[in-house]
Amino acid sequence: MLQARFKPRAAKIFGFTLIELLVVIAIIAILAALLLPVLSSTKQRAYTITCLNDAKQLNTAWILYATDNSEALPPNPPWSPKGSWVCGFEDMSSGNTDNTNSALMLQGAIGRYAMNLNIYHCPADNSYVPGLGPRVRSFSMNAFIGSEPFESDSYRVYLRMTDLKLPADTFTILDEHPDSINDGWFLPVLGPTDTDDWQDLPASYHNRACNIAFADGHSETHLWEDQSTLKPITKLYRDGLPFAPPPPANDLAWVIQHMSPPCAVTQKGVLPKERPESAPVDSKVVLPKAP
């Protein structure tokens, strides 16, 4: 009996044509273009939340210090020498080890309560000193908290917790602009009668906003209104960022009002901001106040 023999067919190979491949690549490129801004925004949002928590933890350490010291507030002198709430003077000099010496953080007066080096630095702060590495501190403290910037009765000075009559409206710690930050002493004006010029400038790298902690224990992300407050980061140390913002200067007015409610103004003298040669070199999100 004859058997029919059939020649097996070769398996058909399926694949993309060049046109189909180009269409797929184009679709992937479009999706990437749509997703990357979202991912970047999510990353920045995470930085903001982390920084906000850092500010709150530092503020809690500040409150604990006062609780253990009969309501006396941590010292906050200019130049941040030994004994200050935080120690060290930052700039952009590769010869200044304060820029990267993280041990100085916990050597400050609130260090034993903070117990975490990382909370002194905002993850959105990319300050980097050539030859040394990333700088270790992003926060400064209100100059009227724990020190007396002006020898006058222009502003209220807070040396004890009981001096704070409006703690929910008086800020303690905030992000400072990377080009402006040096010591841990934040003074936005040059003198008692000066309400028109910035000296120290707050940060704005949280999508036009800054994280700020207040004396009652809460912290918030404050959105700046004035375009002039949003100074670009040059990575050049400028010992503050002195400039006169154009009217109406709402941000400077807000900072002054929450720094210390003004009293009668009399000019008697101003402490210098520069460090002398003898100085040592060693949308709002609110977190609830500490219990």
* pLDDT for 6: 55
pLDDT band at 17 (very low <50, low <70, confident <90, very high): confident
Entry pTM? 0.79
What pLDDT digit, counting tens, does each position of 115-164 carry? 999 999 999 999 999 999 999 999 999 999 999 888 767 788 999 999 99
Residue position matching structure tokens 């403290």: 141
* pLDDT for 272: 43
Cα angle for residues 194, 173, 185 (degrees, 5° grid): 55
> What is the arrangement of strands in the sheet containing 185-186, beginning at the earlier edge strand?
185-186, 139-142, 171-175, 209-214, 219-223, 286-287
pLDDT at 238 over 60: yes
Domain boundaries, the chain: 21-287
pLDDT band at 40 (very low <50, low <70, confident <90, very high): low
What pLDDT digit, counting tens, does each position of 244-290 carry? 999 999 999 999 999 986 553 333 334 444 444 444 433 333 444 44
Cβ pair 194, 168 in contact under 8 A: no
